[in-house]
Structure 1
């Protein structure tokens, strides 16, 4: 499938981590994420699943690998919130801000959002206090891969009349 880009803007609040968590919950509540189709094989009992395996593959280890994968799928949580949804889809992710499950970090790290450096903010906006419309326009053409890897996000605080106005989140995630 490949990664998907996402971006969100919310009213400013001093606690960026709380803003991120609220966005993750909002995306979950709205169903604004990729959801894997359930594999019907995972609904089988272990005996039923074993009965479907090819005995010719017993010596090669293929059946044991398939059984290990089936068991791992059985241990995944049933999604009831953003964190359990993220845990239930470890290979594909959700292609949304929900994938930023480890919160906010000072520097780029997997499954987190981190701020632009002062140098990046000046480079992209020619000011350290960009206006909301500047950031929104930037996010439309921004290539996160230029400063972040897949499964990482960035956030920017925008300003109006010298006061923080919004927090903008953007990134690419999912497989």
Structure 2
């Protein structure tokens, strides 16, 4: 499937981590994320699943590897919130801000959002206090050149005061 770009804008608050947590919950509640299709094999008992495998195709223990993978998938949680959703589909992700399970960091890192540096802000906007319109255009044009699963955020300004927090990134496989 490949990664998906996501971008969100929320009203500024001093606690970016709290803003991120609230946004992740809101996106989950609205259902605005990728959800893997139900796997009907997981409704089977292990005996039923084993019966569907062809023992003639068991080269080098392949059948046991298939069964162990099936067991691992059955152990995944049923999604009831953003974190259990990510745990339920660890290989695909949600293709949304929900994938930023490690919160906010000062530096770019896996499954986190971090601010652009002053240099990155100047390169992108010509100043360190961009307007909301500038940030929105930047995000629409592709935003941060960070790797997949590494999000960013930018605080935009209105009349010299923080106005919004803009979250941007790419995630999902």
- Give the superposition deviation at 1:85: 0.4
Matched, 1:28 2:28: yes
TM-score by length of 1: 0.96
Question: For residues 54-103 of structure 1, what are the alpha-carbon distances to aligned partners after superposition, in whole Å with 9 as ceiling and x for unaligned?
Answer: 11233521111111111111110000000000100001100000000111
2:160 corresponds to which residue?
A: 162
TM-score by length of 2: 0.97
Q: Which runs of 4+ in 1 moved over 3 A?
A: none
Helix, strand or coil at the partner of 1:106: coil
Distance 2:124 2:26 in 1: 29
Aligned counterparts, 1:30-109, within 5 A: 30-109=30-109
Helix, strand or coil at the partner of 1:104: coil
- Give the superposition deviation at 1:140: 0.7
The more displaced of 3-12 and 49-58 is 49-58
2:128 corresponds to which residue?
A: 128
2:150 corresponds to which residue?
A: 152
Helix, strand or coil at the partner of 1:103: coil
Helix, strand or coil at the partner of 1:170: strand
Distance 1:44 1:87 in 2: 21
| Number of residue pairs matched by the alignment | 173
Unaligned runs of 5+ residues in structure 1 are none
Distance 2:169 2:91 in 1: 18
Distance 2:143 2:63 in 1: 42
Q: Confirm or deny: 8 A CA contact 2:53 2:63 kept in the other structure.
A: yes
Unaligned runs of 5+ residues in structure 2 are none
Distance 2:151 2:88 in 1: 21
Helix, strand or coil at the partner of 1:72: helix
